[in-house]
Amino acid sequence: MSNTQVALGLVWSVLNSPAGIAALAGVILWVLNKLYAAKPTWAKYEGAIISAVRFAEKEIPDNTPSTGMARLDQALKYVLATFEQVNGRRATDAEAASLKEGIQIVHNNLDVQGALAKPPAEAAQ
């Protein structure tokens, strides 16, 4: 037998021991936990996104052409400025796309919760 076969036999016997199986299971669980715990870029800026959505809802009137796009653009500018201030650099295209997606998700959640509904006096104007 060569040294390689002896080494492989030793590794195989260690991996097939209860301690080896437990260690391997622990490593697999750790990797899965890291993958599962990974959050999108926008999750870290959720507070700024909520502020941006509310700000855009107030600042862009309902009768503006392409209201939704104008509000999304306003909110995105706000969030990108916050991102740049926090990180000291501009967001990459992938980060900006993630932040834009986050704005859309947060806006939908706020809308479903009724947090963006205008009071009757304001809606009548």
Count how many domains the chain has: 2
User: Is the pTM here over 0.85, yes or no?
Assistant: no
pLDDT, the chain, mean:
87
Give the span between the Cα atoms of 16 and 117, in whole angstroms: 61
* Same-domain status, 108 and 51: yes
Residue in the structure block whose two tokens are 């503006």 = 64
* Same-domain status, 46 and 31: no
Categorize the per-residue pLDDT at 3 as very low, low, confident or very high, splitting at 50, 70 and 90: confident
* Same-domain status, 75 and 109: yes
* Same-domain status, 64 and 32: no
* Same-domain status, 29 and 52: no
Give the span between the Cα atoms of 68 and 75, in whole angstroms: 11
Find the largest Cα–Cα distance for the chain.
Answer: 90
- Domain residue limits at 69: 42-124
Categorize the per-residue pLDDT at 120 as very low, low, confident or very high, splitting at 50, 70 and 90: low
- The pLDDT, as a whole number, for residue 102 is 93
Long-range CB contacts for residues 71-78, cutoff 8 Å, separation at least 24: 72/100, 72/103, 72/104, 72/107, 75/49, 75/103, 75/107, 76/52, 76/100, 76/103, 78/48, 78/51, 78/52
DSSP 8-state secondary structure symbol assigned to residue 65: T
Q: Which residue has the higher pLDDT, 121 or 23?
A: 23
* Same-domain status, 64 and 98: yes
* Same-domain status, 50 and 34: no
